[in-house]
Every structure is written in C-alpha cells, then in structure tokens.
Structure 1
C-alpha cells in the first residue's frame, strides 16, 4: 500500500470518513492500521508538543448506532498549551473547534463538488468547501482530496494532496 511510503517522523494519522460506514467499516480500519496508519476515532494522541484529536465521522451516529463524542469532551483532559490539531472528516460546525480552542482543523469530505456545478452546492452547504480560512485563533483547511466518488471524473476543481508543516 502507498501509505507505507509516507515518511512521517511521528507517524501517519487518519480518521474515518462517511464512506467507510457504507459497508464493512471495521475491515477498512484494519486495512489502514495494517499498513501503518493510526486511525483516531474519538481519540486523542499527544506527540512531542502536539495534540492530535481524531473524531468519528458524523455518519457513525447512524451506521454504528452510537453518538460520537463532542469535541469539548475529547479535549477535556489535554494540555491546551500544546498545539492542537483536530481531524474531522466533514467540515460542519467549525465553531466547535473555535470554542474548544483548537489551533488547526483539517477536513475533507466535500470534494469541492467534484464536478461543476456541484461546487455551488458544497459552497452553500459548508462554511468552507475548499481551502483555508481562519476563525478567531483557529485555522481551518478543507481539502477537496485526490480521488473521486461515483463517476471517476473531476470537472472545475483540482485534486490535491496537502502537506502542512507545523513549526514551533
């Protein structure tokens, strides 16, 4: 798997997206884990001076019959003097990260509409459909991703793999 080729000093981390819950979600998680990816579903890990908070996707509420933990609950016992990154597949309710004093939230899900004119829909539904924004002291980046869903085509947006370097 290509994941094993990623060279990351402290490891590779991921959260589930909505498609992992369509069928056999546990096998998909195990596949990632077996290829060196740390899957954080409603979990926190602290590495060096960074907290990484990974959230179950919102879809897990329906697919697993459970309620995902609130961000404030996940961040209750972390050292907030450390840089805190939130991984949340769907960029809904950005204020939750602001209120929890996260430094950076990384999301995906939108594909920025994947094909024109659907990008107008994702722009209307999501506060950030693609790219960077900052609210108060929290930075947000929503990637349209690299792949596709449904038809294997993109029109009107560029796929991307994002590299973010956190210094400090």
Structure 2
C-alpha cells in the first residue's frame, strides 16, 4: 500500500510539474500563433510521458528517444522555468525576449551536451604495484564502463570505442558493466557484435554485468552475445590469466544473491589481483581482502551537472583514481550515457592504465 501511495504521489507531482512547463511554453508560443489547447495538451503529454510509452513495445522506440531528450528539459527546466516566471513578473512586457533566452539556453545545453557525450576522450593513469610472483613487468589495461548500447549509444559510438581502445595497444581490456541499455535487442539487431569483435588485446577482453542488465531481464542473451563478441563475462568468478595475475568479475549488487568477495578470492595472494565491480559501493571490502586493482563505473559522474554533487555524497569514490592502503581504486564516468545523449560537467571516456609491476613492497 505504501508503494502504491508513493507512486501515486510521484505521478501527481510529476504531472503538476509538466503541466506548469506546458502552460509556460503555450503562453509564450501564443505570442506568435494561436494554440489549440487540446491538441497541444495531447502532444505535450506524449512528449512528457514518452519514455514510459516507449517501454510498452520496441515498436514505439521513437517515444523512448523523445522521452530521453525530455529528461534534459526536466533536469534544467526545474530551474529555468521558475526563473523565467520571476523575470516575467518583474518585466511583463518582455515575455517574448525571456522566452527566447530560455530557448537559447536549452539549445546551448543540447549542443554542448551532445558534443561531450559523443566525443569520448582517453584518460591516462600510471600506477605501480608489487609484482609478487608475476612473470610480467608491466601491463597496459584499457578500462571502460556504462556503454548503455542501444538506440542512442549506437553502433557508431561503439566503433569510436573500438578505434580508441585498439589505438592504445592494450594487454587487457576490462568492460565494467552496463554494457547495454537494459535489453540487448538493439545490440543484436544492429549487428554491434561485429564491431565488438574488432577489439584487440594481448590477454583478452573481459566484462561484468551492471544494474541495467538486470533491469532488462535478458542476462542469458546478453552473456551469449558478449561471448560471441569475444568478451568473456565473469559472473562472480576468479580466473588466472597467463599465470601472471588473477582477475575477478563480480555480479552487480542488484543481484541480492551475489557472493561475498572473500568467497571468490584466489586461494593464494601470490600474484596481483584485479577486481571488476560495476558499482563502487564499498572500497573497504577490497582493501581488506588485499585487492591490488579495483575498477568500477555506474556513477556517470552524475552525467549532467549538478548531479555529481549527489554521487559524491553517495560514494566514497564516485570518479577518478584513489590509492587506499595497498589498493588502487578507479571509477570511470562511462563511455556511453543513460537516457539522453547529453553530458554536462562530464565527458564520455575510456581509461588507459599503465601498470608497472615491481619487486618488493610498493
């Protein structure tokens, strides 16, 4: 009952906000041409509830796209529309100009945000850790997360990743969850597997699940597609790679039955130990278990400013690199995006990590 009540309150609040936004837009547009309130209301409703409508069927994907972009209007409209109302109250004769200023700000957000979403960068990181009994002296690792491959993070965007990753000539590629946007249907239908197969790495390409794979409820299909794309999925398991380092892939914390880290730890800690865990929920655990290199994603660095203030409060490390005891921890903002292909205050990225393995304690 509480959940139903909470959902009802949320829907009513959301409906009130979108009604206010719609009324504001209609008032401004009426300066230029007459508005049919019923027709405008229907169109506005389809736009504002587009994301939900798009979830009904894949055939309604146009509504998913419209709904994704609507999220940007909601994000910044909560600030801009009330400000516009205040300025209109102070300067009632300048409604026309105020409307164009708000429109211009939204256009800038869309243009700049699109650029940062679709123009990924390579972040460089160099770390040193004990080699223990490893045969290797160094290792170059490409780390990427949160692709959300689907309608908007599409085949072309995946191609950008493959080109940039291969240019780094990596020894190892780690794909740290949220590989697809819920359902892998578009990964399959758009032939993205053929692009993923072009990734090149000396010691292999490995991936883990994120929360969105669980939302999509098509995990067996996703795993099958990734394995066919030469990406080995690690689901709560640890493997030994070229007799030189251990690699663990954890189930996402969305899976309440996932194993504890100590349950899947290597029996011996005689080699460097790398762990992939999509959500950087608790760094105390890998530090305690003597993990050497821990990589995550999930946060998107908020994706759109000022959401990073929230992720910073939730996670001990919501972005970047931190050394915690002997643990080297890294969190990526992601190569793709969730919802709109818009990034403000963050940028699509992959990490190129040069690991130097040295004798003795480091």
Work out whether the TM-score is over 0.5: yes
1:50 Cα shift? Answer: 0.6
Pairs within 5 Å for 1:147-166: 147-166=336-355
2:197 is matched with 4
Establish whether residue 124 from structure 1 lines up as the match of residue 318 from structure 2: no
User: SS of 1:20's equivalent?
Assistant: helix
Matched, 1:54 2:54: no
Alignment partner of 1:26: what SS?
helix
Match of 1:17 in 2: 210
Return the TM-score normalized by structure 2.
0.44
Report the Cα offset of residue 25 of structure 1: 1.8
Residue 111 of structure 1 and its aligned partner are, at CA, apart by: 0.4
SS of the residue 2:329 aligns to: strand
Which residue in 2 is equivalent to 1:64?
none
Indicate the structure whose relative CO is greater, using CA pairs within 8 Å and at least 6 residues apart: 2
The structure 1 residue matched to 2:229, chosen from 16, 35, 53, is 35
Tell me the residue number matched to 2:262.
72
Point out where structure 2 has 5 or more consecutive residues left out of the alignment: 1-192, 358-362
Once the two structures are superposed, what CA deviation does each residue of 1:96-118 show, in whole Å capped at 9, x if it has no partner?
00010000100000001000011
Any conservation in 1 of the 2:236–2:264 contact (CA below 8 Å)? yes
User: What are the Cα deviations for residues 72-119 of structure 1, in whole angstroms up to 9, with x where unaligned?
Assistant: 111152x31201001000001111000100001000000010000111
Work out the number of aligned pairs and report it.
162
Q: What's the TM-score once normalised by structure 1's chain length?
A: 0.92
Structure holding more helix per residue: 2
Give, in whole Å, the separation in 1 of the partners of 2:258 and 2:349. 28
Q: Aligned partners of 1:59, 1:133: CA distance in 2, in Å?
A: 24
Distance 2:253 2:266 in 1: 20
Instruction: Work out which of the residue numbers 89, 103, 112 in structure 1 matches 2:292.
Output: 103
C-alpha distance after superposition, 1:30-86 (max 9, x if no partner): 11111000100101110121100110001122xxxxx11111111152x31201001
Tell me which structure has the larger Cα radius of gyration. 2
Which structure 1 residue ranges, 5 or more long, are not aligned? 62-66
Distance (whole Å) between structure 1 residues aligned to residue 326 and residue 266 of structure 2: 19
